[in-house]
């Protein structure tokens, strides 16, 4: 499905959700959630090409594959937290959305610590 077709369908669904929001807010929220899930499904389908490109790049520079997996985890955590935060904000729970964003940032920091430690070790070896 092309980007123009996807965006057209999304805009139609958003207009439908907005028109139902005043009469039936529950259905409007479900339409919004369905739009988000469809978009995530489309993005997941395209991740394979990104992973192949990243593997090619890591092959060129002889980089450890574990760093690639850390990068993919960080991207996944970012998308999941942004999705959950957006849904929470849309439902009117902005305090929960802020906590989701904080949790995501802390989780990403924790997962990226091995990379930071490797950078520090490399700098120390150079001295």
33 in Cβ contact with 87 (< 8 Å): yes
Task: Tell me the pLDDT of the chain averaged across its residues.
Answer: 84
Is 0.75 surpassed by the pTM of this model? Answer: no
- C-alpha pair distances (Å), 32 with each of 11, 23, 83, 98, 102: 11, 15, 12, 20, 24
Residues 92-114, mean pLDDT to the nearest whole number? 91
Confidence of residue 111 (pLDDT cuts 50, 70, 90): very high
Phi, psi dihedrals of residue 21, rounded to the nearest 5°: -60, -40
| Model pLDDT, residue 35 | 84
| Model confidence pLDDT, tens digit, residues 9-67 | 888 888 888 888 888 888 887 888 888 888 888 877 778 888 888 778 877 877 777 87
Rounded percentage of the chain residues whose pLDDT exceeds 90 = 17
| Contact of 27 with 49, CB cutoff 8 Å | no
pLDDT confidence of residue 58: 76
Residue 103 — pLDDT band, cuts 50, 70, 90?
Answer: very high
- Rounded Cα distance between 27 and 23, Å, is 9
How far is C-alpha 107 from the geometric centre of its chain's CA atoms? 14
* Lowest mean per-residue pLDDT among 12-16, 60-64, 75-79, 91-95: 60-64
Q: Which of 96, 79, 91, 94 is nearest to 44 (CA)?
A: 79
């Amino acid at each position: 499905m092309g980007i123009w077709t996807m965006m057209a369908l999304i805009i139609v669904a958003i207009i439908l959700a907005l028109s139902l929001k005043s009469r039936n807010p529950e259905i409007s929220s479900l339409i919004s959630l369905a739009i988000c899930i469809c978009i995530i499904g489309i993005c997941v389908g395209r991740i394979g090409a990104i992973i192949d490109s990243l593997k090619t790049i890591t092959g060129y520079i002889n980089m450890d594959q574990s760093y690639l997996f850390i990068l993919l985890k960080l991207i996944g955590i970012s998308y999941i937290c942004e999705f959950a935060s957006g849904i929470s904000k849309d439902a009117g729970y902005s305090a929960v959305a802020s906590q989701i964003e904080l949790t995501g940032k802390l989780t990403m920091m924790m997962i990226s610590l091995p990379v930071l430690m490797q950078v520090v070790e490399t700098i120390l070896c150079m001295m």
